[in-house]
Chain A
Amino acid sequence: MHQPKQDDAPHVIARREFLGKIAAGSLTGAGILVLWGSLDLSLPPTIRSTHPIRLGKSSSYPLNRFTFIPASNLFLYRARHTVSALSAICPHLGCVVRKGEGGFRCPCHGSRFDEQGDLLSGPAARSLDWLRVRRAPDGQLVVLPDERVGPGEELHI
């Protein structure tokens, strides 16, 4: 190690050392800023597509049956006085479940759900999501894909 001259005060650092530290510090700082800035840039400012889904008149759907809406990956269920919407996206890893006998099945990893969307077996950690259904002023059904509701909360018609 380089020692300062004996008559120097013990905490005085040499000019070179000082400049070296400044240089190293500003390089590190600049590096962190560049990294942080590029990561921040790469994250999209808007992530969710929260457009409500318009699905037409309830009368156009068959009674007492799940109807699959391919464009928005959900099932619409119309009963005599109510309409409800069940998300078809498997809460495991995002595949689209299919309606089979007695419930729903995910083709990717074999999760099974009953007619209520409740988890029966498989790797999914929770049940399928029920989504909020509203009625637009013109009478059309509107599903809000980001608003989860409990299984009993249906739209009365």
Chain B
Amino acid sequence: MRKTPARGVQILQLSIREVWDSATRRFLRWREPRVSDRERSRAVSRSFFLHYHASRIHPFSLRPAYTLGLGLMSFFLFFILLVTGVLLMFYYVPSAERAYSSIQDITYVVTGGRFIRNMHRWAAHGMVVTVLLHMARVFYTGSYARGRSLNWVIGVSLLLLTLLLSFTGYLLPWDQLAFWAVTIGTNIVGSVREFTDMLGTTAWFDPGGFVKSFLLGGDSVGQEALIRFYLLHIVLLPFLAGVLMLVHLWRIRKDGGLSRPGDADEVVLRGRGGTPSGSGPGGEPSILAWPAALWAEAAVLMVTIAALATASFLLDAPLREIADPSAPENPAKAPWYFLGVQELVSYSAFAGGVAIPLLFFTLLLVIPFLDREKDHIGRWFSGASGRQVAGSSALFALLITVGLVGVAIRFGWLHDWIPGLPDLLNMLLNPGSCVVLAYLLFGMRTLRSTGSTRLAVISLFTSSLVGMLLFTAIGFWFRGPDWEFYWNPAQMPGP
């Protein structure tokens, strides 16, 4: 006869089963649900992780050529950055004496440390790329319209946070690259003083000095700066970015799923999207989030991890010599995504490092409020006229940027021609700000000739993007020692 377990053991078994069941059912739900549509819908609506989806979504949202998976990639990269970042924290020491050697330990001694550090570095670079491309995708498909303006604003904040996260992480290895990039970066912030000095308000209103000493905890990059950057990098900024990312995802659902064109239903019914399995509340075609959306997301995740792992296997994250506060490298270059700004600050610190980036982010933020047209949503470039405007703006930006920078390099600029020019004019009329002014004028012209705010912002956005690329390319390939311009990088003198 089988012995029944004691009553205490029974209660224990029951509670374990209950906890386990509720965890798998309500929280994780990792088991494939029963095949009925009802079961699948319940799986999504009852699970903590899956409730970011509606249980039924529009099949148009699954078209890879529409989203390119860029937002998801950014999200997955952020997640990978959290995991690898925590792993690196096991060994990293945020002290000016030990930071560099702890990174050396991670790279050369710790098992798998080099791979994890590579992953962290390349995921950070990758995230800057995917976030920028994601923004371009959302912009060119007009997906900031129709109540999605809040999510656009959150997205722009996330771009800013991504850049700040990269920048604060840059100091932590405490090598030459880190030290001088951050010295320059914080002095760019401090250069707001150039402007407040001119206005004569520095004594009682000094945002440049305030932010600089907030970041550095002193007047130069040292131990205090390192611990502050560490704190920002591992706690404050990831927390902010994480919260905003969750709101960003939640808003997608609140805004009725991913944006789609007015004729999305017909496109799908003609069989060019996913295959609808039913219809949503408005009679529109819909598809179950489980499994269609989950498969798509898993595919993006696998592509992301595969690409990142390959890159981290093949390429090592750089680590230069230990920071030397008395000898910058020549040339001392910022990470590639800040080289456009570095090129701009080589004309004027305040205009290039503060005013133009501030203008850029302000314009990005107000795009949904400048352009209130509603009929363009979900179509790339809003059709043929938008493609044409984007093309002509790109061409215009290319010509004017290369032209003005060429003049500045070959013949000098205002202060070389007119020696007594006031500082304010020198600052405001440098090649960089003249280029930006030209973009603005071209955008205005587009607005006047077409009368369409959508086409005007397409023009502005495109020329800014092209300008950003060009300045980055100039800084990356054509600037040598002493920030001199070289046509051919092979002609640069060696160190």
A2 to chain B, nearest CB (A): 30
B401 contacts partner chain A, Cβ-Cβ < 8 Å: no
Most buried by B among A68, A92, A94, A122: A94
Interface stretch, picked from A3-11, A13-21, A29-37, A104-112, is: A104-112
A140 contacts partner chain B, Cβ-Cβ < 8 Å: no
Contact A93/B347 with A44-B217, A107-B328 known, Cβ cut-off 8 Å = no
A152 contacts partner chain B, Cβ-Cβ < 8 Å: no
Q: Looking at the complex, which one of B219, B326, B482 makes contact with A96 (CB distance below 8 Å)? A: B326
Is A121 a contact partner of B416 (Cβ separation < 8 A)?
yes
A19 to chain B, nearest CB (A): 31
Interface residues on B, range: 35 or more
Contact A44/B218 with A93-B345, A106-B482 known, Cβ cut-off 8 Å = yes
Measured in the bound complex, the distance between the Cα atoms of B333 and A93 in whole Å is: 13
B451 contacts partner chain A, Cβ-Cβ < 8 Å: no
Is A95 a contact partner of B349 (Cβ separation < 8 A)?
no
Instruction: Tell me which residues across on chain B come within 8 A of A96, comparing CB atoms.
Output: 325-328
Q: Which residue of B lies closest to A100 (CB)?
A: B482
Is B482 a contact partner of A107 (Cβ separation < 8 A)?
yes
Q: Looking at the complex, which one of B186, B332, B353, B423 makes contact with A107 (CB distance below 8 Å)? A: B332
B141 contacts partner chain A, Cβ-Cβ < 8 Å: no
A58 contacts partner chain B, Cβ-Cβ < 8 Å: no
Q: Considering the complex, which residues of chain A in the window 87-124 have a beta carbon less than 8 Å from any beta carbon of chain B?
A: 88, 92-96, 98, 105-110, 121-123
Is A94 a contact partner of B184 (Cβ separation < 8 A)?
yes
A64 to chain B, nearest CB (A): 23
B224 contacts partner chain A, Cβ-Cβ < 8 Å: yes
B484 contacts partner chain A, Cβ-Cβ < 8 Å: yes
Q: Looking at the complex, which one of A73, A98, A109 makes contact with B325 (CB distance below 8 Å)? A: A73
Measured in the bound complex, the distance between the Cα atoms of B220 and A122 in whole Å is: 23
Contact A123/B326 with A44-B213, A94-B183 known, Cβ cut-off 8 Å = no
Q: Looking at the complex, which one of B218, B330, B342 makes contact with A98 (CB distance below 8 Å)? A: B330
Is B349 a contact partner of A92 (Cβ separation < 8 A)?
yes
B37 contacts partner chain A, Cβ-Cβ < 8 Å: no
Is A70 a contact partner of B327 (Cβ separation < 8 A)?
yes
**Chain B positions 208 through 238: 1 when the CB is less than 8 Å from some CB of chain A, otherwise 0:** 0010011001111000100010000000000
Instruction: Tell me which residues across on chain B come within 8 A of A47, comparing CB atoms.
Output: 213, 218-219
Is B194 a contact partner of A125 (Cβ separation < 8 A)?
yes
Q: Which residue of A lies closest to B209 (CB)?
A: A47
Instruction: Tell me which residues across on chain B come within 8 A of A49, comparing CB atoms.
Output: 218-219
Instruction: Tell me which residues across on chain A come within 8 A of B412, comparing CB atoms.
Output: 121
Q: Which residue of A lies closest to B426 (CB)?
A: A125
Q: Is the interface of B mostly helix, strand, loop or mixed?
A: helix
Measured in the bound complex, the distance between the Cα atoms of B408 and A121 in whole Å is: 12
B434 to chain A, nearest CB (A): 15
Measured in the bound complex, the distance between the Cα atoms of B222 and A48 in whole Å is: 13
A39 contacts partner chain B, Cβ-Cβ < 8 Å: yes
Instruction: Tell me which residues across on chain B come within 8 A of A43, comparing CB atoms.
Output: 210, 213-214
Measured in the bound complex, the distance between the Cα atoms of B345 and A73 in whole Å is: 23
Q: Looking at the complex, which one of B224, B332, B348 makes contact with A108 (CB distance below 8 Å)? A: B332
Q: Which residue of B lies closest to A119 (CB)?
A: B415
Measured in the bound complex, the distance between the Cα atoms of B438 and A97 in whole Å is: 34
Q: Considering the complex, which residues of chain B in the window 168-205 have a beta carbon less than 8 Å from any beta carbon of chain A?
A: 180, 183-184, 186-188, 191, 194
**Chain B positions 143 through 154: 1 when the CB is less than 8 Å from some CB of chain A, otherwise 0:** 000000000000
Measured in the bound complex, the distance between the Cα atoms of B228 and A43 in whole Å is: 11
B102 to chain A, nearest CB (A): 25
Instruction: Tell me which residues across on chain B come within 8 A of A92, comparing CB atoms.
Output: 187, 345, 349
B72 to chain A, nearest CB (A): 35
B274 contacts partner chain A, Cβ-Cβ < 8 Å: no
A71 contacts partner chain B, Cβ-Cβ < 8 Å: yes
Measured in the bound complex, the distance between the Cα atoms of B411 and A42 in whole Å is: 46
Instruction: Tell me which residues across on chain A come within 8 A of B213, comparing CB atoms.
Output: 43-44, 47
Measured in the bound complex, the distance between the Cα atoms of B326 and A68 in whole Å is: 10
Q: Which residue of A lies closest to B353 (CB)?
A: A93
Measured in the bound complex, the distance between the Cα atoms of B483 and A95 in whole Å is: 12
Q: Which residue of A lies closest to B416 (CB)?
A: A121
Measured in the bound complex, the distance between the Cα atoms of B225 and A47 in whole Å is: 12
Instruction: Tell me which residues across on chain A come within 8 A of B347, comparing CB atoms.
Output: 123
Q: Which residue of B lies closest to A98 (CB)?
A: B330
Instruction: Tell me which residues across on chain A come within 8 A of B228, comparing CB atoms.
Output: 42
Instruction: Tell me which residues across on chain B come within 8 A of A73, comparing CB atoms.
Output: 325-326
Instruction: Tell me which residues across on chain A come within 8 A of B329, comparing CB atoms.
Output: 107
B340 to chain A, nearest CB (A): 14
B406 contacts partner chain A, Cβ-Cβ < 8 Å: no
Residue pairs across A and B with Cβ atoms less than 8 A apart, 14 shown, are: A93-B191, A93-B349, A94-B187, A96-B326, A107-B328, A107-B330, A107-B332, A107-B482, A108-B328, A109-B342, A110-B483, A123-B346, A123-B349, A125-B349
A interface list, Cβ under 8 A from B? 39, 42-44, 47-49, 68, 70-71, 73, 88, 92-96, 98, 105-110, 121-123, 125
B interface list, Cβ under 8 A from A? 180, 183-184, 186-188, 191, 194, 210, 213-214, 217-220, 224, 228, 325-332, 342, 345-349, 353, 412, 416, 423, 427, 481-484
Additional pairs, 16, CB under 8 Å, beyond known A94-B220, A109-B345: A44-B224, A73-B325, A93-B191, A94-B184, A94-B186, A95-B180, A107-B329, A107-B481, A108-B331, A108-B332, A108-B483, A109-B346, A109-B483, A110-B482, A123-B346, A125-B194
